[in-house]
């Protein structure tokens, strides 16, 4: 950013993922190379391509999962749990952890100067929401008769049903519980959402509409219906590996994405405001970009999309490729996405800048991936060294990049976080240690 722009920093972190319910759990898992991918427990897998995934097993939705809350907030979240599906619950919990980590309380912030931008996937209802209504519409042969739905079926659906599944509800719930009266927005660009939400939070502060913003994203690929969609539409791993060895970003024997679920959240704050209250500063946001590229047949053009956002975010940050300490890759573990991303990285950085991929530990968390991955890199900046990318045994010769394969590689003092949707919507954010 130019000198005319505000300096905006990250002062709080929170996450819910297959690696635990808090930042300490995530840090320990990365340090000890502990995968969160295991045999699926929450959905049947007999007819799926793979029997495993990255479930957030420690997240039960109980109030204890939301961290240490004061009594009024505890009562509010408990009361509203029935209006939140699992994805929304994870997003709310991650945001509460981030606010606690940033030591943000109503006494600290002006409610009119704090807002929220949260990313989310499109959310599918659970089948049981319609069970009673469907049962009322069966004909003599036990077949569903749609002509009966309006009169006999719909009245049996809970009138508050839709509120549990709207993608703007993570932002709404978090704002209501914490009295955030500033700008509120929701980003629904699948895996690209987290970086875009953080960039929009930056812009909201930079243009003077807030001093603090809650940012983040939540998502899942583990769901009775969503998982069926994913199995039909996306490049998924099969049962060719043990669960923990299944997600293999940029590796020559990889054969597809591993499904997962989770959420991450960050507190974004004007530097002067953060320093005035003595906040811990994890990093400074210095650049970002977004770009969509498709081929004529509507398949993603990953190489061009990633090249665009890398170049644009570096220019936005006034940095050169050699200024970047490490790259947090999208690392989907699919043939096409990994190769397209690697081509773009190599074109701009060569094969010397270290590349890490937290998806190797947890699979694809959908919209939640980018936030948890960014938090993982922020932890690496603080420690000074990068975590090892799991399952990187034989490099793919068409992914000519330096994937981290040990625990002693320096993290540097900056990184770029990359993500993209299957449709070719890419996003990037550049973070630097505060100087």
pLDDT tens digits, 25-34: 999 999 999 9
Q: What is the sign, positive or negative, of the torsion defined by CA atoms of 116, 12, 432, 359? A: negative
Average pLDDT, the chain: 95
pLDDT score recorded for residue 2: 42
Residue 138 domain-assigned (yes or no): no
pLDDT score recorded for residue 317: 97
**pLDDT tens digit string along 211-223?**
999 999 999 999 9
Phi/psi of residue 368, nearest 5 degrees: -75, -15
**pLDDT tens digit string along 9-23?**
999 999 999 999 999
Phi/psi of residue 9, nearest 5 degrees: -130, 165
What is the CATH classification number for the domain harbouring 214? 3.40.47.10
Q: How far apart are CA 266 and CA 12, in angstroms?
A: 5
Phi/psi of residue 246, nearest 5 degrees: -75, -40
Under DSSP, is residue 337 helix (H, G, I), strand (E, B) or coil?
helix
Check if the beta carbon of residue 342 is closer than 8 Å to that of residue 399: yes
**pLDDT tens digit string along 334-371?**
999 999 999 999 999 999 999 999 999 999 999 999 99
Helix axes 86-101, 169-178, angle to 10 degrees: 40
Residue 158 domain-assigned (yes or no): no
pLDDT score recorded for residue 435: 73
Closest residue by Cα to residue 425 from 245, 311, 291: 291
Residue 190 domain-assigned (yes or no): yes
Flag whether pLDDT at 406 surpasses 70. yes
Residue indicated by tokens 């997240």: 59
Q: Residue 45's domain spans which residues? A: 9-125+163-432
pLDDT score recorded for residue 208: 96
Q: How far apart are CA 110 and CA 87, in angstroms?
A: 28
How much of the chain exceeds pLDDT 70, in percent? 99
Residue 230 domain-assigned (yes or no): yes
Query: HSE-up of 426 (CA within 13 Å, CB side)?
Result: 33
Under DSSP, is residue 219 helix (H, G, I), strand (E, B) or coil?
strand
Q: How confident is the model at residue 233 (pLDDT cuts 50, 70, 90)?
A: confident
Residue 103 domain-assigned (yes or no): yes
Residue 146 domain-assigned (yes or no): no
Flag whether pLDDT at 4 surpasses 60. no
Check if the beta carbon of residue 67 is closer than 8 Å to that of residue 22: yes
Flag whether pLDDT at 5 surpasses 80. no
pTM over 0.75: yes
Residue 238 domain-assigned (yes or no): yes
Chain-centre distance for alpha carbon 155: 36
pLDDT score recorded for residue 239: 93
Phi/psi of residue 177, nearest 5 degrees: -60, -35
Residue 195 domain-assigned (yes or no): yes
Q: How far apart are CA 414 and CA 61, in angstroms?
A: 35
**pLDDT tens digit string along 276-319?**
999 999 999 999 999 999 999 989 999 999 999 999 999 999 99
Backbone angle region of 20, left / alpha / beta, with phi > 0 → left and psi within -120 to 50 → alpha = left
Tally the domains of the chain.
Answer: 1
Q: In what order do the strands lie in the sheet with 184-187?
A: 184-187, 114-120, 212-220, 261-270, 8-16, 283-292, 425-432, 414-420, 326-328, 354-356, 402-403
- 49-58: average pLDDT: 96
Check if the beta carbon of residue 216 is closer than 8 Å to that of residue 371: yes
DSSP assignment, residue 387?
P
Q: How far apart are CA 265 and CA 190, in angstroms?
A: 16
Q: How far apart are CA 354 and CA 414, in angstroms?
A: 12
Q: How far apart are CA 297 and CA 90, in angstroms?
A: 36
Calculate the CA dihedral of residues 309, 190, 405, 347 and round it to 10 degrees. Answer: -20
Closest residue by Cα to residue 363 from 214, 234, 215, 171: 234
- Please count the other Cβ atoms lying within 10 Å of the Cβ belonging to residue 434: 15
**pLDDT tens digit string along 84-140?**
999 999 999 999 999 999 999 888 899 999 999 999 998 999 999 999 999 999 999
């Amino acid at each position: 950013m130019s000198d005319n722009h505000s300096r905006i920093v990250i002062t709080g972190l929170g996450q819910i993922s297959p690696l635990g319910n808090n930042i300490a759990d995530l840090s320990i898992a990365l340090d000890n190379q502990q995968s969160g991918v295991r045999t699926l427990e929450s959905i049947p897998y007999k007819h799926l391509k793979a029997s495993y995934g990255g479930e957030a097993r420690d997240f039960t939705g109980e109030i204890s999962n939301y961290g240490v809350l004061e009594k009024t907030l505890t009562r509010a979240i408990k009361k509203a749990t029935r209006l939140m599906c699992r994805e929304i619950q994870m997003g709310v919990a991650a945001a509460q952890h981030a606010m606690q980590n940033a030591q943000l309380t109503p006494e600290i912030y002006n409610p009119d100067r704090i807002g929220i931008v949260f990313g989310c996937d499109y959310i599918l209802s659970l089948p049981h929401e319609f069970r009673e209504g469907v049962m009322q519409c069966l004909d003599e042969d036990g077949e569903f008769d749609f002509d009966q739905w309006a009169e006999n079926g719909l009245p049996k659906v809970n009138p508050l049903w839709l509120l549990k599944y709207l993608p703007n509800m993570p932002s709404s719930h978090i704002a209501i519980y914490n009295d955030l009266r500033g700008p509120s927005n929701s980003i629904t660009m699948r895996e690209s959402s987290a970086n875009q939400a953080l960039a929009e939070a930056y812009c909201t502060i930079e243009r003077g509409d807030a001093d603090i913003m809650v940012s983040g994203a939540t998502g899942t690929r583990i769901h009775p219906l969503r998982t069926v969609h994913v199995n039909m539409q996306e490049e998924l791993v099969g049962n060719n590996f043990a669960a923990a060895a299944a997600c293999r970003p940029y590796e020559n024997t990889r054969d597809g994405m591993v499904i997962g679920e989770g959420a991450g959240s960050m507190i974004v704050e004007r530097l002067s405001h953060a320093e005035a209250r003595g906040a811990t500063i994890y990093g400074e946001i210095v650049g970002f970009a977004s770009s969509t590229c498709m081929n004529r047949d509507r398949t993603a053009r990953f190489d061009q999309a990633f090249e665009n956002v890398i170049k644009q975010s570096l220019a936005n940050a006034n940095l050169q490729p050699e200024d970047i300490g490490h790259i947090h890759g999208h690392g989907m573990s699919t043939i096409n996405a990994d190769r397209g991303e690697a081509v773009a990285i190599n074109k701009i950085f060569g094969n010397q800048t270290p590349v890490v991929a937290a998806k190797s530990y947890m699979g694809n968390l959908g919209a939640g991936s980018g936030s948890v991955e960014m938090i993982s890199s922020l932890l690496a900046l603080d420690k000074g060294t990068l975590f090892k990318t799991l399952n990187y045994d034989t490099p793919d010769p068409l992914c000519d990049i330096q994937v981290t394969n040990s625990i002693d590689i320096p993290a540097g003092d900056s990184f770029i976080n990359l993500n993209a949707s299957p449709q070719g919507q890419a996003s990037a954010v550049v973070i630097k240690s505060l100087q």
